[in-house]
A and B are shown apart, each in its own frame.
Chain A
Amino acid sequence: MEKEHTHIVKYKTYVFVLIALLFMTFASVAITSINLGPYTVSAALLLASIKSILVLLIFMHLKFDKKFYSLMVGGVLLLFACVIFITFLDYLYR
């Protein structure tokens, strides 16, 4: 059996990531409670995207795994983005 799980993530790394995630959660709550008009949603979604990237990279080990996994995740997200984009070609211009 080839050794493929040699990397062990330190507990400390996880704690730091959690702190960052919590910080961004509270930041998004704070941002949306002040009225930024149309930017509110974009700010909240931007923070959510950064959070999910952190979860994917560290918690889900994409950073430590083979590049192949990141490639697949990127491909799937790209595909989904294209589907949403094309759907909105209908709704934006109807």
Chain B
Amino acid sequence: MSDTVIQNHEPNYLEYKGRYKGIFAWIFSTDHKRIGLLYLYSMLVLFSIAAILGLLMKIELIAPGRTIMDAQTYNSFFTLHGITMIFLIVVPGLPAVFGNFFLPLMIGAKDVAFPKLNLLSWWIYILGAAIALSAQFFGDGPPDTGWTFYAPYSFRTGTNMLPAVTGAFILGFSSIATGINFIVTMHRMRAPGMDWMKMPLFPWALYGTSWIQVLATPIVGVTLLMIVLERTMQIGFFDPALGGDPILYQHLFWIYSHPAVYIMILPAMGVISEIIPTFARKTIFGYKAIVISTLAIAFVGYFVWGHHMFTSGMSGTALYTFSILTFLVAIPSAIKIFNWVATLHKASIDIQTPFLWALCFLFVFMIGGLSGMVLGALSANVHLHDTAFVVAHFHFIVFGGTGYAFFGALHYWYPKMFGRMYDKGWANIGLAIFFTGFNTLYLPMFYLGMIGMPRRYYDYVEEFHGPNIVSSFGAMLMISGLVIIITNLVRSARKGEIAEADPWKSKTLEWTVASPPPLENFAEIPVVTKRPYDYE
């Protein structure tokens, strides 16, 4: 697979001139690579907005009492921050950007199975995003329920809930369309010779993810629909006054939203499983164990939703069951950590920026995972529920897991996507500042949660002041790191050095084509004979 085919005569996908011109050549393109970049750019804009909201919230929390905003503004900020980050960035993030771009390349296909559906799913994404964000500007004030839309508050509050809920509902279709596309692509379009056990691990992770997207998203769809009906037509579903049970709303919401956590984290694990063998220059340790644990996470991840509801008043039987299942689902995640670490054992490691991101991922992901175990224990959960500890925990998992993997993936595949290399020095400096800021921001929140600071309040008592100052300072540091990282990447897309086809000497299929890849990916569909990480 090392004989690289450089197709100079073939225009690459960035230069290709189709039927449309200018921006239309992008927004009407059915090319999976262009769609991947469309998602990337949309998410970059949305991520910047949501990150600034997060920063403003941390500045508000730098001192007790009102600092820069009032309570209602704070409520709407954490709602919008949550909706944007969850529904618009981390849930679709890795599959929509890197899945779209690299899934066909990695399995030796020319495109996904349904290119038009793929484009449609981007349009639905934009539509959903626009509707969800419009909630901020019209009606009776921005939503203030948090991203979970808990009943009965979500249909009692006077704020502008309908667009937010409808937007989230529409985004579900985008997610489902992508999921269907990927599953069919992997079933039908793998290159000759690539049987399931020769498929690289990122596609495997996408496979598990896609099934969750397809089978869990409809539940939240119908639940949000019920909220809409309850608000507009007074149909009783969750309103206790009409006989409904608000806890049932929580059940339905988390039946989706817990698996959604695995939609976020599985592809992240897939990315790490690509980066580590590349820079360790070794076959990944326990390929089969990683595959099986991916599928196990996807399956068991369905049955642990109740651990978000330990204090809601569920039955004891349900509490014990969910707690046990929560501990069980940690096992396959731990298996992966051991696999990655074992891969590094006695390897001659080539330390590059993507590899550093993967190392940082391992560090923060372990903190996130282990703090999850604390929350999964019933007795500890009663104490820590809805405190800053929970906020720290899921930021370590969601931002520390998916976010680090996203940036890791961006630095890993950047030369392939744009045909240029970023400035490695600045990338590493940015990472160092970002990583320091990240830990300074979220580690104190574990402590704050343990001494009793609740989440979602713009104010706190004087005892919590010290750690909050540290945390807010960390937020500023982290954002400056992000600015360096993103500026470096944006700048290098035009001015970076020209990258070769396989700058990391990696062995998976996407590195066998030119950088940036030609429109049709492969001039001839490759025949696969080896396992994906055949370095020895």
Contacts and interface: CB of A to CB of B under 8 A. Distances in A.
A89 B215 contact: no
A89 B251 contact: no
Contacts of A92: 315, 317
A60 B152 CA distance: 41
Interface string A71-93: 00000100100110011011111
Contacts of A86: 303, 306, 318, 321-322
B303 A82 contact: yes
A10 interface: no
A7 interface: no
Contacts of A83: 255, 302-303
A54 B255 CA distance: 29
A79 B303 CA distance: 9
A5 interface: no
A31 B502 CA distance: 70
Nearest to B321: A89
A91 B247 CA distance: 10
B317 A93 contact: yes
A89 B318 contact: yes
Given A76-B215, A79-B215, A90 B302 contact: no
Contacts of A94: 313-315
Contacts of B322: 86
Interface string B303-326: 100100000011111100110000
A90 B318 CA distance: 5
Contacts, number: 37
Interface in B282-314: 299, 302-303, 306, 313-314
A90 B215 contact: no
Contacts of A91: 315
A76 B299 CA distance: 11
Given A76-B215, A79-B215, A90 B306 contact: yes
A86 B322 CA distance: 9
A93 B306 CA distance: 15
Contacts of B318: 86, 89-90, 93
B329 to A, nearest CB: 13
Given A76-B215, A79-B215, A90 B251 contact: yes
A94 B322 CA distance: 15
A91 B250 CA distance: 13
A43 B282 CA distance: 60
Contacts of B247: 90
A23 B318 CA distance: 41
Nearest to B317: A93
A76 B302 CA distance: 12
A81 to B, nearest CB: 12
A86 B306 CA distance: 9
Contacts of A79: 215, 299, 302
Nearest to A89: B318
B317 A87 contact: no
A91 B317 CA distance: 10
Contacts of A93: 315-318
B212 to A, nearest CB: 10
Interface string A16-27: 000000000000
By Cβ-Cβ distance, the 7 closest A-B pairs, closest first, are A93-B315, A90-B318, A93-B317, A94-B315, A89-B318, A90-B314, A90-B315
13 contacts: A76-B215, A86-B306, A86-B321, A86-B322, A87-B255, A89-B315, A89-B317, A90-B306, A91-B315, A92-B317, A93-B317, A94-B313, A94-B314
Interface of A: 76, 79, 82-83, 86-87, 89-94
